[in-house]
Structure 1
């Protein structure tokens, strides 16, 4: 980038990018897994899956909140030379870089169905629901503070709150093409 500008991706969009693939991979895996009687039977498998769904959704939604809050509190204003990445570009890059992990998680959830029918798929769907809840939490933070949180796109290998991320950048609430929380901006 010219004059020291960086490509910035929205934090909430990156978090939300994993929610839909995990949710939509988990539901068919749970449905197909419920067709197999498994070692424990359908009832125990689905009850275990429901418990895993709730626990996983809560754990994913609450994970690393202190780091997100600290990075958001120390965020600096984005420079004029910074390039704000579109929502679609951020989502596509995140999903493309993790497509084999998503396929492996789907196959592992199906494989777990031979022991606990439906449990693996519900666990996977719970992870997607937890990411969506985290994106909603970030959206509420952004709305309350009337700022949008951005992260350098080059440092997203380990996620928007991973060790390579040292700081967030902020812009006004109208910047970019995504609403607070990472959803599509309604016109």
Structure 2
């Protein structure tokens, strides 16, 4: 990259990258949890899991929303020399960087099933559903504003609105290979 050039990743793609692994690991862990009777019994475990799924999905969908709104409103225009990273590259990098955390979360969810069947898997699946809801919200916001939100790729280690993030960049709606919300462009 030339002088002043920076690699930018889509905010919605970074958020969306964790949704599918969390959802599927949660569903798989809940399925394993149903095989184990647990200390409380399957019925109580499944009911508690359903409640935890709803609470987790709602919490993940709304957490740090003010910070997203603040950065979106203060977003500066991306420069001509900025490099817009591919959607696949962003997803692959995020999943590779978080694979051990995902594995640990899956092991904990299966372990919880011995006490409360299917509840740990429901929490993981709820986190995945909450991330999808957050990307839907981001996509709606991007479509309404007519801009796509980006951030520097070296700031994504602690999340798209973590402590190192100083602000977002914006481009027109046609930039990059991902639609508003981070889904594949059709």
* TM-score past 0.5 threshold: yes
- CA-to-aligned-CA distance 1:84-103 (integer Å, 9 cap, x gap): 00000000000000000000
Q: Give TM-score scaled by structure 2 length.
A: 0.99
What is the CA-CA distance between 1:122 and the residue it aligns to?
0.5
Aligned counterpart, 1:26 = 26
Task: Give the corresponding residue for 2:117.
Answer: 117
Instruction: Give the unaligned 5+ runs of structure 2.
Output: none
Q: CA deviation at 1:3?
A: 1.9
Unaligned runs of 5+ in 1: none
Instruction: Show the counterpart of 2:134.
Output: 134
* CA deviation vs aligned residue, 1:38-59 (integer Å, no higher than 9, x gap): 0000000000000000000000
* Alignment partner of 1:180 is 2:180: yes
* Aligned residue runs from structure 1 range 1-40, under 5 A: 1-40=1-40
- How far apart, CA to CA, are the structure 1 residues paired with 2:107 and 2:163? 29
Give the TM-score taking structure 1 as reference length: 0.99
For 1:138-175, what per-residue CA distance to the aligned partner results, in whole angstroms no more than 9, with x for missing partners? 00000000000000000001000001000100000000
Would you say how many aligned residue pairs link Structure 1 and Structure 2?
Answer: 186
RMSD: 0.4
CA distance, structure 1, for counterparts of residue 158 and residue 67 of structure 2:
14
The CA deviation string for residues 6-63 of structure 1, in whole angstroms up to 9 with x for no partner, is 0000000000000000000000100110110000000000000000000000000000
Aligned to 1:69: 69
Aligned partner of 1:153 in structure 2 is 153
Q: Where do 4+ consecutive residues of structure 1 move more than 2 Å?
A: none
